Amino acid sequence: MNGIIGKKVGMTSVYDNDGNYVPCTLIEVGPCVVTQVKTTDSDGYSALQLAFGEAKAKNTTAPLQGHFAKANTTPKSKIKEFRNSTLSKQLGDSVTVEEVFAEGEKVSVVGTSKGKGFQGVVKRHGFGGVGQATHGQHNRLRAPGSVGASSFPSKVFKGMRMAGRMGNDQVKLKGLKIIKILADKNLILIKGAVPGHNGSFVTIEK
Residues of the chain with CATH 2.40.30.10: 3-116+171-205
Closest CA to 181 of 60, 98, 117: 98
- Tell me whether strands 170-182 and 187-191 are parallel, antiparallel or unpaired: antiparallel
Mean pLDDT across 100-124: 95
Is 135 a residue whose pLDDT tops 70? no
Which pTM was predicted? Answer: 0.85
pLDDT digits (tens, 9 = 90+) for 2-46: 999 999 999 999 998 889 999 999 999 989 999 999 999 999 999
Q: Which amino acid is at 50?
A: L
Q: How far is CA 173 from CA 38, 71, 84, 107, 135, in A?
A: 27, 31, 21, 9, 32
- Cβ proximity of 75 and 55 under 8 Å: yes
Is 134 a residue whose pLDDT tops 60? no
At residue 138 the predicted structure's pLDDT band, cuts being 50, 70 and 90, is low
- Cβ proximity of 155 and 147 under 8 Å: no
For domain 3-116+171-205, give the CATH number: 2.40.30.10
- Cβ proximity of 142 and 160 under 8 Å: no
pLDDT digits (tens, 9 = 90+) for 95-109: 999 999 999 999 999
pLDDT digits (tens, 9 = 90+) for 44-72: 999 999 999 999 999 999 999 999 999 99
